């Protein structure tokens, strides 16, 4: 068995803070799975499963899925063999109830929490400009928020659309949820000495470099991010 410390991370940040971009890069470098609860739930909606039917209304309104449902989902996912070397959790935990449940699930190797900080005005600007490819699901930024001309994905050439939950009213509701329910997680992980805050306003490459340095520093010191 390898003595290399696991790379187990929790990415915390409001919608539009860049968690998806950074999660992809971390997972590619360290060969660990990206566990995005949002993607898992949207896949359930698309497949028309019983879970998906329950989730559809919540996602469209920008509301949060209940703690019990999310805890069960993550418990099953962390039990798979591909998490042996670590994982990146994106979208979980969102509440202190979920954080307490996760503490119990990974008590032997506590994950490190990385907080991406971005001002709310910038988050709203980013999210209203965000587009998703209808085919490959790549996220892009619209060249114009007001133009009616269709934009195409730079990766596969398919049409870009606005995600249902990227309208202004829903965005503001999601940010309010973050402030009232998820922001307290910062204190939770800070008290445990397993938290780092990263400036999400910098260029994505600079954010990635900072995160990699934090991970490598903790691994070299035999701590487990």
- Per-residue pLDDT reduced to its tens digit, 62-71: 777 889 888 8
Query: Which CATH entry fits the domain spanning 7-119+168-220: 3.40.50.300, 3.20.20.70, 3.30.300.160, 3.30.70.1140?
Result: 3.40.50.300
Q: What is the pLDDT of residue 145?
A: 47
Of 25, 94, 126, 131, which one is the catalytic site residue?
94
Active-site residue flag, 19: yes
135 as an active site residue: the answer is no
Active site residue 172: no
Rounded to the nearest angstrom, the gap between the alpha carbon of residue 197 and the centroid of all alpha carbons in its chain is: 15
Q: Which of 6, 25, 42, 130 is catalytic?
A: 130
Give the pLDDT confidence score for residue 4 in this predicted structure. Answer: 66
Which of 6, 25, 42, 174 is catalytic? The answer is 174
Is-catalytic flag, 163? yes
Report which of 96, 112, 151 is spatially closest to residue 26, judged by C-alpha positions: 112
| Segment 86-112, tens digit of pLDDT | 999 998 998 899 999 999 998 888 899
CA distance 50 to 59: 15
Residue ranges per structural domain of the chain: 7-119+168-220
Q: Which residue has the tokens 């994505």?
A: 204
192 has catalytic annotation: no
User: Is the predicted pLDDT of residue 1 greater than 50, yes or no?
Assistant: no
Q: DSSP 3-state assignment of 157?
A: coil
Annotated active-site residue in 77, 163, 202, 218: 163
Phi and psi at 178, nearest 5°, equal: -65, -45
How far is the C-alpha of 86 from the C-alpha of 33, rounded, in Å?
7
Q: What is the pLDDT at residue 147?
A: 45
Q: What is the model's pTM?
A: 0.75
Which of 163, 166, 185 is CA-nearest to residue 174?
166
* Residue 14 reports pLDDT greater than 80: yes
* Encoded tokens for 169: 């009213």
Q: Is the pLDDT of residue 27 over 90?
A: yes
Active-site option among 6, 19, 25, 42 = 19
Q: What is the CA radius of gyration of the chain?
A: 18
Task: List Cα–Cα distances, 125 to 4, 30, 128, in angstroms.
Answer: 40, 31, 6
- Please report how many Cα atoms fall inside a 13 Å half-sphere around the Cα of residue 17, on the Cβ side: 23
Q: What pairs with residue 131 in β-bridges?
A: 140
Label residue 144 by pLDDT band (50, 70, 90): low
């Amino acid at each position: 068995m390898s003595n290399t410390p696991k790379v187990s991370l929790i990415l915390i940040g409001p919608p539009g803070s860049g968690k998806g971009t950074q999660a992809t890069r971390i997972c590619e470098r360290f060969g660990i799975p990206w566990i995005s609860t949002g993607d898992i739930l949207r896949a359930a909606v698309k497949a028309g499963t019983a879970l998906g039917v329950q989730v559809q209304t919540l996602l469209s309104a920008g509301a949060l899925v209940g703690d019990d449902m999310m805890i069960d989902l993550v418990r099953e996912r962390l039990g798979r063999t591909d998490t042996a070397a670590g994982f990146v959790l994106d979208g979980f935990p969102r509440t202190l109830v979920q954080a307490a449940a996760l503490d119990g699930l990974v008590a032997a190797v506590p994950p490190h929490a990385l907080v991406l900080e971005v001002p709310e005005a910038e988050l709203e600007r980013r999210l209203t400009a965000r587009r998703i490819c209808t085919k490959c699901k790549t996220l892009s930024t619209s060249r114009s928020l007001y133009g009616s001309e269709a934009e195409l994905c730079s990766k596969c050439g398919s049409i870009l659309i606005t995600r249902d939950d990227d309208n202004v009213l829903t965005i503001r509701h999601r940010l309010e949820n973050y402030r009232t329910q998820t922001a307290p997680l910062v204190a939770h992980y800070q008290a445990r000495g397993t938290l780092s805050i990263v400036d999400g306003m910098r260029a994505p490459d600079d954010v990635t470099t900072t995160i990699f340095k934090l991970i490598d520093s903790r691994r070299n010191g035999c701590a487990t991010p």
